[in-house]
Amino acid sequence: MELACSLLFNEEVYNQLGEFQKAEFALEWLRFLENLLPATNQADIREKQNKLVEQLISLLTSSPGPPARQLIAKNLAILYSTGDVFSVHQTIDKCNELILSKDDSPSYLPTKLAAVVCLGYLYKKLGRILGNSFVTTVENILKAMKNAESQGRYEIMLSLQNILKGLGTSAVPCHRDIYKAARTCLTDRSMAVRCAAAKCLLELQIEATFMWSTDIDSVVTLCFKSFEGSNYEVRMAVS
């Protein structure tokens, strides 16, 4: 696996491996890259940035598993925050395109989830630098949630939490829409989704003053309702 320890992904070696070995090789490189990027000279990063983005997007569209999609998202966010942001909107557009795809096959789901996670990390890391593109992004993510399975709803809640964290007061135009979606997820049949929704709402209330003013009674009632049929993790997250 020492062949995976380089700034650029070794595609030649990767293409010679079997399917299981490919997944292991890619994961090893992504882990290495997460530690390497912050310690790499900015000039070196910028020199190879186009190729790195291309390679990370390629892995993102290859149906990555949960650990890989987290690392792909983190590395893209680190790459743009330490290098140039000139192509970040192209990456955001690509992720939005993947999320809105009408392909509902099980084999495509990991790619869609990876795109959701990636958007969350990009906005968390770059925040207001990305301008008003977040409005379209949030709309697309919420649109995707309508037909999402529990795993999708879980990742969407966490992604929205990250978007809120990165944007701060700039996300005000989307507060009500996110609030509505998170309210629904707080009583979801999946305990993991309820926990993720609680985290999203906790982040939302920092800037969404209506949650602890005009809507406070509704929020409290909802929290108690979320305890019904819940487990320890949900009760801790909501409380």
Residues 42-78: tens digit of each pLDDT: 899 999 999 999 999 999 999 999 999 999 999 999 9
In a domain, 2, yes or no: no
The pLDDT-based confidence of 231 (bands split at 50, 70, 90) is: very high
Is the domain of 113 the same as that of 165? no
In a domain, 206, yes or no: yes
Contacts of 3 (CB under 8 A, 6+ apart): 10, 13, 25
Is the domain of 82 the same as that of 190? no
Is the domain of 192 the same as that of 91? no
From residue 70, alpha-carbon distances to 22, 112, 217 in Å are: 17, 13, 36
Is the domain of 20 the same as that of 122? yes
Specify the residue for token string 């209330």. Answer: 205
From residue 86, alpha-carbon distances to 50, 58, 74, 76 in Å are: 10, 19, 18, 13
Q: Classify the C-alpha dihedral 227-233-238-239 as positive or negative.
A: positive
Is the domain of 156 the same as that of 86? no
Give the residue-averaged pLDDT of 178-207. Answer: 97
Is the domain of 34 the same as that of 123? yes
Contacts of 222 (CB under 8 A, 6+ apart): 183, 186, 187
Nearest by Cα to 37 from 26, 49, 27: 49
Does the pLDDT value for residue 192 go beyond 60?
Answer: yes
Cβ(95)–Cβ(119) below 8 Å? yes
Condensed to tens digits (0 to 9), the pLDDT of residues 74-115 reads: 999 999 999 999 899 999 999 999 999 999 889 999 999 999
Q: Backbone phi, then psi, for 83, in 5-degree steps?
A: -105, -140
In a domain, 49, yes or no: yes
Counting the structural domains of the chain, the total is 2
pLDDT of residue 1: 52
Condensed to tens digits (0 to 9), the pLDDT of residues 144-159 reads: 999 899 999 999 999 9
Give the residue-averaged pLDDT of 112-130. Answer: 95
In a domain, 136, yes or no: no
Is the domain of 15 the same as that of 99? yes
Give the single-character DSSP code of 231: -
Domain final residue, candidates 96, 130, 164? 130
Domain final residue, candidates 100, 130, 160? 130
Condensed to tens digits (0 to 9), the pLDDT of residues 24-47 reads: 999 999 999 999 999 998 899 999
The pLDDT-based confidence of 131 (bands split at 50, 70, 90) is: confident
Residue 68 neighbours by CB distance under 10 Å = 21
Amino acid type, 57: I
Q: Classify the C-alpha dihedral 141-146-151-157 as positive or negative.
A: positive
In a domain, 22, yes or no: yes
In a domain, 156, yes or no: yes
User: Is 0.85 topped by the overall pTM?
Assistant: yes
Does the pLDDT value for residue 4 go beyond 80?
Answer: no
What is the four-CA torsion angle of 49, 128, 137, 184, rounded to 10 degrees?
130
Is the domain of 120 the same as that of 192? no
Is the domain of 28 the same as that of 80? yes
pLDDT of residue 132: 86
Is the domain of 22 the same as that of 111? yes
In a domain, 3, yes or no: no
Q: What whole-number distance in Å separates Cα of residue 111 and Cα of residue 16?
A: 23
Can you spell out the DSSP letters for 170-215? GGGGGHHHHHHHHHHHTT-SSHHHHHHHHHHHHHHTTT-GGGGTTT
Does the pLDDT value for residue 3 go beyond 80?
Answer: no
Is the domain of 185 the same as that of 232? yes
In a domain, 157, yes or no: yes
Is the domain of 52 the same as that of 116? yes
Structural domain of 41:
9-130
